[in-house]
Amino acid sequence: MTLDTRSILDDRGRARRARTLACASSMAALAWASPALAQDQTNLQNATTDRPAAVQPAVPATANTTTATEAGQPQDLATAQDASQGNTTGDDIVVVGLRGSLQRNLDLKRTSSGIVDVISAEDIGKFPDSNVAASLQRLPGVSIQRSGSRGEPTGITVRGFGGDFNTTLYDGRRISTATGGRQIDFSTVGVDFIGQLSVLKTPDVSLASSSIGATVNIAFPNPFDHPGFRVATTASGSIQDRASRIVPTGGLLVSTTTADGKFGVLADVIYTRRDTDTNRVYVSGWPGGNFAGCQLAGGAGACTPTSDPKSAAYANPANRQNIPGWFPQQYGAEQQRVQDERVDARISLQYHPSDDLMVTLDNNFSRQTIKQENYAFGVWFNQGDLRNVTLDKNGTATDFTQVGTPTDFTAALNKQILQTNQTGLNVKYDATENLTLEADGAYAKSWLNPGNVIGSRNGDIGYGGNLGNTLRFNVDGDSKNSFPSISNFGPAGDAANWANPALIGSHVTVNQTQHNTDQLFQFRGNATWKQDNLTLKAGGQYYQDTFNFRNQSTFTNNFWQAYAGYGGPSGRDTGISPLPANLYKGSVSLNNFIPGFNGSLPPSVFVFSPVAYQNYLSSLGNPQTQNIPGYNYAGVNGFTGAFDEAVDPGSVLRVREKTWSLYVSANFKTEIGSLPFTFNAGVRNEVTNLNATGQGRLPTSIVTSAADPTLLSIPTYTEIQAVNNKSSYSYLLPSVDMKLELTDKLVLRADASRTLTRPALNLLTPVLNVGNGQRVGALSAAGGNPNLKPYLADNFDLGAEWYYRRNSYLSVNFFLKNVSNFIIGGVTRQTINGVVDPTTGQPASFAVSQQVNGPDATVRGVELAWQQVFGDTGFGFQANATFVNTNRPYDDKNITQSGFAVTGLANSANFVGFYDKSGFQFRAAANWRDKYLLQFGQNQNTGSFGAEPTFVNQSFQVDLTSSYDITKNFSIFGEALNVNNNQQSTHGRYSNQLLDVFDYGRRYTLGARFRF
């Protein structure tokens, strides 16, 4: 194909194709540049002008606005036309590479009716980052959440709204996800052959209105985007500085179309692997509760903390638990060795028998397998057993001792498989010159841990009882730079024998697996009328989403306690000690475990295989047919030697959600005075019917464990009963966008809309689930609410954009969101079915987690963005900042059980400096996010003051990337992530209540790309 592309058009299609050039995308995001254009790349990529960027032809970010003719048009036609004009006039020269991609992004942003930010690929197989979420965080108002154990970006927050508040689409279609929520895990999306990411901050009613944060549309390539034969390959190796092993990534894309232009096929496959060794120090939770005066530092005499006015101890005021405070439930450190493998594949078939008809059949497949080996120690605390307690001014227990503290060494082999497959069929038909009809259907299914996968195998060994120590715990610093210290550790306080295998015995053995499926049917039909400056759309959508949830574990059948107790050295009749010496495979040093953090830890943790440990215990035989010393005969029934999982009936959930939507919109362009004005208005009506089914049962008794006084079991329940609940709701969702071009450089925008976000599917269970695995002083249960209504938001935006020169602009955007129906995940103390706690003799008090629709809140903020390219020097930068606040901030003094605050809100800023010239490209990206409230709830959340919060401390990370074009078809690239060794840390209600600190290190990548 030559630069004079229009000369190949026949008479029948010439007029229509000429019209198409005015709206076709520079979704040359994949930049399948023509041979002639590629030959001039070296010369053209350096040339720019100081003139303001002209409005370029652009495909809108939505998926259903192109005609059948446009869908069959090569995506590089608009670029080719520009290049031809540039060669003719010498003024506007097409720019490729990074700067060309940035210019296309700007064109799409400027020409869109609503507020949209776009990221395009620079060339085929050359997306700006190695992860979708990492790219998105460069945009104004967008920040990311990372997996602590991998350091990988897994989710995004837009204007303070994360997770389920953002909808992610593949080519305009919803994606099934078996994780239990509605958001996708962005680490499961292969980025190599993505063409374009669009973030719609104001809704398009013909696409979706189900996202209070934003709608993210991921566009994948099709064969007619770039006709002819095309090949792209990418290969790289990466290494994390602590993992010390190089792992591969590779991808191949092949696309071809027939000579008559009627049929095309595209296929790609990508294999990605990341290995990460992460050091973690953790506190599983800071429950709130009441201390007795005799527990505090300086307390003298016998101490029997109680809250029971009928007890004899209550007569002594010093024993009464009436002093509020917070204590650490469990403390420990672990090394996590993670192997993350992902396979992505796509095939797209297109049939284009005429200009008026385009049929596209595609399939997207993804399978991510995460294997994780954990080696840790942990110590458990009970509030009533703490002595010599020092409370700071906020009530945090910063110093205390506990007599008889057991010590556990754990090893875990975790495996999670998340697989998704989506098949879609799209038909576009240009019925007339003005009318386009479209039908789109898709079926998708996701699996979490399909087949016979065991999600987690755990081995827990250690010492306690007679070898328990009077452990001292001390907090001396903020969670952003310190973790707690423990002293007087080791068996009976003997630090020299901290890890003496002769004193260590078997303890609990936990296997557990979450099995989920999510099945999604969807259909969309719409009609688009375009004439002159008017575009009308009307249509409807139907979704049917069916979610199945099931958990199985050794908690359910109580097999986890089969060999609990630690054995003879700890003075116990249960448990096996010593364990075979060949089970131990070395150790991990805890010296300087988290660089830059203050605090002290014991010397090491063991490395051993939980599978080998379990196999050893199973090899002892069947305790039902022979006597096995150390087996927990008094506490475990039915165990025959294998640590088989059993399904927890209370975890079984089936939710079916059906949604019908009708929408209509109008877009017209006119003038106010002599100023161009664009007005877009639409309305969408959504009706949802929901059916939730679960299995209910309640405990009838609780017993203590003969093997471990900190453990409890529920041996009997009521009969299982199926519980079904139906609900429905309907909402009208209007949207208005206005754009006024004051000059050819300055654009004003005003937008208003109503959007909603549905509750996560796993919150809709109609039953209360009381699990069998319980701990003394930490009884818990969880219940859902199938009658939850969606969050509703009334959104308002006002902004200005100044495109003052080519590839450069300044913008400011003010936004306001009034949100109602907030879902509160509260924790209340309740008795259940009258069961008695055997450790107190009183009705058992469970910490019950449930969700209800709660109060309203207002979120407001401002986004600032600046992009600057310095002429033809090759240098430039992107910078943006977002400032956001709310009328419902978190109140750390509120200890009621129904505390509320808006989660996810944080100021953020991003800066990307780059150089792009003569085939060489270098980028330095810095991303900062302030402290924010992530969620209500902690790993252990059994306190008396409701759901305790989890805050994420501020973070700052620097990434470097570079590439060099050796030839027009072959390039090499390198990447260094987290070069400043940013560490992720979280805390509870107060800043010195550390919950987690993850040190996931730096990652380096070197690779090559070839495209033809």
Burial status of residue 734 (CB atoms within 10 A of its CB: 0-12, 13-18, 19 or more) = middle
Mean predicted confidence (pLDDT) in 605-629? 96
- Which tens digit of pLDDT belongs to each residue from 52-83? 333 333 344 454 557 777 777 775 443 333 33
Say whether pLDDT at 534 is over 90. Answer: yes
End-to-end CA distance of the chain: 14
Question: Could you tell me which residues come within 8 angstroms of residue 750 by beta carbon, excluding any fewer than 6 positions away?
Answer: 737, 738, 797, 798, 799
- Which tens digit of pLDDT belongs to each residue from 712-738? 878 888 888 888 999 999 999 999 999
Say whether pLDDT at 13 is over 50. Answer: no
Rounded Cα–Cα distance for residues 196 and 365 (Å): 18
DSSP letters spanning 791-859: EEEEEEEEEEEEEEETTEEEEEEEEEEEEESPEEEEEEEE--TT-B-TTTSSB--EEEEEEEE---EEE
**pLDDT for 164:** 82
Residues of the chain above pLDDT 90, percent = 62
- Which tens digit of pLDDT belongs to each residue from 559-606? 999 999 999 999 999 999 999 999 999 999 999 999 999 999 999 999
User: Are residues 407 and 469 in contact, defined by beta-carbon separation less than 8 angstroms?
Assistant: yes
Say whether pLDDT at 525 is over 90. Answer: yes
**pLDDT for 283:** 96
Between the CA of residue 930 and those of 137, 881, 904, 951, 953, what are the distances in Å?
A: 14, 11, 10, 11, 7
Query: What residues pair up with 317 in beta bridges, in sequence order?
Result: none
**pLDDT for 23:** 34
- Which tens digit of pLDDT belongs to each residue from 495-516? 999 999 999 999 999 999 999 9
User: Are residues 925 and 880 in contact, defined by beta-carbon separation less than 8 angstroms?
Assistant: no
Q: In angstroms, how far apart are the furthest CA atoms of the chain? A: 102
Say whether pLDDT at 765 is over 90. Answer: no
- Which tens digit of pLDDT belongs to each residue from 407-456? 999 999 999 999 999 999 999 999 999 999 999 999 999 999 998 899 99
For residue 991, the SS3 value is: coil
Say whether pLDDT at 295 is over 90. Answer: yes
Please give the helix or strand (H or E) that residue 230 lies within, else none.
strand 230-240
**pLDDT for 194:** 83
- Which is nearest to 545 in space by CA: 688, 670, 403? 688
Window from 578-582, 676-680, 760-764, 914-918 with minimum mean pLDDT: 760-764
Say whether pLDDT at 38 is over 70. Answer: no
- Which tens digit of pLDDT belongs to each residue from 98-115? 777 788 888 888 888 889
**pLDDT for 5:** 34
Rounded Cα–Cα distance for residues 454 and 448 (Å): 11
**pLDDT for 92:** 45
**If pLDDT is split at 50, 70 and 90, which confidence band does 770 have?**
confident
**pLDDT for 643:** 96
Say whether pLDDT at 89 is over 60. Answer: no
Say whether pLDDT at 399 is over 60. Answer: yes
For residue 708, the SS3 value is: coil
Say whether pLDDT at 818 is over 50. Answer: yes
- DSSP 8-state code for residue 718: P
φ, ψ dihedrals at 306, nearest 5°: -155, 150
Paired tokens of 943: 């306190």
**pLDDT for 79:** 35
- Which tens digit of pLDDT belongs to each residue from 852-877? 887 899 999 999 999 999 988 999 99
Window from 684-698, 792-806, 828-842, 880-894 with minimum mean pLDDT: 828-842
**pLDDT for 114:** 87
- Which tens digit of pLDDT belongs to each residue from 301-338? 789 999 888 888 999 999 999 999 999 999 999 999 99
User: Are residues 400 and 473 in contact, defined by beta-carbon separation less than 8 angstroms?
Assistant: yes
Question: Could you tell me which residues come within 8 angstroms of residue 23 by beta carbon, excluding any fewer than 6 positions away?
Answer: 57, 58, 59, 60, 66, 70
Window from 112-121, 375-384, 616-625, 738-747 with minimum mean pLDDT: 112-121
Number of other residues whose CB lies within 10 A of the CB of residue 39: 12
Mean predicted confidence (pLDDT) in 743-768? 90
Paired tokens of 372: 């994780």
For residue 18, the SS3 value is: helix
Burial status of residue 443 (CB atoms within 10 A of its CB: 0-12, 13-18, 19 or more) = middle
Mean predicted confidence (pLDDT) in 643-670? 94
The dihedral region occupied by 388, where left means phi > 0, alpha psi between -120 and 50, and beta the remainder, is left
Mean predicted confidence (pLDDT) in 980-1003? 95
User: Are residues 172 and 424 in contact, defined by beta-carbon separation less than 8 angstroms?
Assistant: no
Q: Across the chain, what does the average pLDDT equal? A: 86
Q: Is the peptide bond before 569 cis (omega within 30 degrees of 0)?
A: no
**pLDDT for 705:** 78
**If pLDDT is split at 50, 70 and 90, which confidence band does 528 have?**
very high
Q: List alpha helices for 35-131, DSSP H.
A: 35-39, 41-44, 68-71, 77-89, 97-111
Say whether pLDDT at 47 is over 50. Answer: no
